[in-house]
Amino acid sequence: MLLDVRDLRVEFRTRDGVARAVNGVSYAVDAGETLAVLGESGSGKSVAAQAVMGILDTPPGRITGGEVLFRGRDLLRLKEERRRRIRGAEMAMIFQDALSALNPVLDVGSQLGEMFVVHRGMSRGQARARAVELMDRVGIPAARERAGDYPHQFSGGMRQRVMIAMALALEPALIIADEPTTALDVTVQAQVMELLARLRRELDMALILITHDLGVVAEAADRIAVMYAGRIVETAPVHAVHRAAAHPYTRALLDSVPRLDRKGRELYAIRGLPPNPLRVPPGCAFHPRCPVARDICRTDEPPLYEAGEGRRSACHFWRETLDG
């Protein structure tokens, strides 16, 4: 197991109380595997990733429990100094908004080269040459000339490529991509996803893909972890999920997306709203919105039940959900 996150907990202290943004999340990624973490805003999917990556803002955030085992070492127990050396070199991150993730006053070539100077001790000249190579690899035309350009001179899609290049620079074993294509147009999104898939294959990297887009999940993921209110509610191989979901939330999500290939009738709409992280309902957090909830759901928090086919579901009634 390349990355094994166990029972991760993150809290935010706010003026109005403590928000348990991540409330006991466990997931694992094998080398070369793509795991999609699916969830709506407020589900804790990005916060969990930031905690894994070690870039969570503390305060206001605070990791209150759990382990992040990366190649067997618990990252949460490492000194910041050692974590910093792992970051970038062994695991890297791609953000949604490339414009704000890149430094506006440095040209792109220098920013890419910086990685080699800091982590590999290369000279400026060598680093620049590697930067151009990288830009070429992620499909930026006229890489040599464009290396002197600043981030705002690139289009959205090209900027995303620059950020991917930066994440790939040191050939890390794991990449965490947080909504990498959400800000992009469909045709550009297709280009970027294709690039990510190609590079992942070539470099045999593991990928954690954080997204709310079921299409992106279906296209790129091997396995899927669905998050709701700071918890994982279902994990399963992506094909299995699509045949039948073992958690009512997953199922509702699948049913509530309009389809491109046919004109549906009325969409299935989950009633109500995702809970406020300050006041997560007791028992199963989904019970106020769940069509199959019973008394036990209001009182007992469901564990992640083994549901066969490499699937786990945090629903007391996973069997019925799978069948019906």
Partner 1 sequence: MPEPQCARPRSVAVEAVAVAAAATPDGGAAPGHGAAPEPGAAPQRRSAGSDGGAPTGKPRGLWSDAWHDLLRNPVFVVSALVIVFLVVISVWPSLIASRNPLSCDLALAQEGSRPGHPFGFNGQGCDVYTRTVHGARTSVVVGVLASLGVALTGSVLGALAGFHGGAWDAVLSRITDVFFAIPVVLGGLVLLSLVAGTTVWPVIGFMVLLGWPQISRIARGSVITVKQNDYVQAARALGASPARIMLRHILPNAVAPVIVVATIALGTFIALEATLSYLGVGLRPPAVSWGIDISDASPYIRNSPHMLLWPAGALAVTVLAFIMLGDAVRDALDPKLR
Partner 2 sequence: MAEAVLEVTDLVKHYPLTRGVLIRKQIGAVRAVDGVSFALAPGETLGIVGESGCGKSTVARTLVGLERPTSGRIRYKGEDITRLSGRALKAVRRNIQMVFQDPYTSLNPRMTVGDIVGEPFEIHPEAAPKGDRRRKVQELLDVVGLDPEYVNRYPHQFSGGQRQRIGIARGLALRPEVIVADEPVSALDVSVQAQVINLMERLQNEFGLAYVFIAHDLSVVRHISDRVGVMYLGRLVELGSDSEIYDRPTHPYTQALLSAVPPPDPAARAHRDRIILAGEVPSPARPPSGCRFRTRCWKAQERCAVEEPELTVPVAFRGQKGPAAHPSACHFAAERRSVPAAGGET
Which residues contribute to the site for partner 2 (CB under 8 A)? 40-41, 155, 157-158, 185-191, 193-194, 212-221, 238-239, 242, 252-254, 256-264, 266-271, 273-274
Of 16 and 266, which has the nearer Cβ to partner 2?
Answer: 266
- Cβ atoms of 108 and 135 within 8 Å: the answer is yes
Binding partner 1 (rule: CB under 8 A), the pick from 60, 148, 215, 291 is 60
Shortest distance, CB of residue 93 to partner 1, whole angstroms?
13
Measured between alpha carbons, how far is 245 from 190 in angstroms, rounded to an integer?
27
259 belongs to the binding site for partner 1 (CB under 8 A): no
Burial class (CB in 10 A: 0-12, 13-18, 19+), 35: buried
Shortest distance, CB of residue 212 to partner 2, whole angstroms?
6
Measured between alpha carbons, how far is 230 from 190 in angstroms, rounded to an integer?
30
Q: Could you identify the residue written with the tokens 């006041």?
A: 279
Q: Which of residues 218-247 bind partner 1 (CB under 8 A)?
A: 230
186's contact among partner 1, partner 2, none, with CB below 5 to 8 A by partner kind, is partner 2
| Interface pattern 202-221 for partner 1 (x via CB under 8 A) | --------------------
57 belongs to the binding site for partner 1 (CB under 8 A): yes
Q: Could you identify the residue written with the tokens 């066969």?
A: 308
Half-sphere exposure of 157 (CA within 13 A, CB side): 15
Q: How many Cβ atoms from other residues are within 10 Å of residue 1's Cβ? A: 12
Binding partner 1 (rule: CB under 8 A), the pick from 148, 264, 272, 303 is 272
Measured between alpha carbons, how far is 321 from 173 in angstroms, rounded to an integer?
36
Of 275 and 308, which has the nearer Cβ to partner 1?
Answer: 275
- Using CA atoms, how far residue 234 sits from 25, 218, 247, 281, 307, in Å, is 11, 15, 6, 18, 10
For 78, which DSSP code? S
- Using CA atoms, how far residue 271 sits from 3, 119, 131, 227, 314, in Å, is 35, 50, 50, 18, 20
Binding partner 1 (rule: CB under 8 A), the pick from 125, 271, 295, 324 is 271
269 belongs to the binding site for partner 1 (CB under 8 A): yes
Q: Which of residues 82-141 bind partner 1 (CB under 8 A)?
A: 96-97, 100
47 belongs to the binding site for partner 1 (CB under 8 A): yes
Residues in the site for partner 1, rule: CB under 8 A?
Answer: 10, 12, 14-17, 19, 21, 40-47, 57, 60, 96-97, 100, 182-183, 230, 269-279, 288
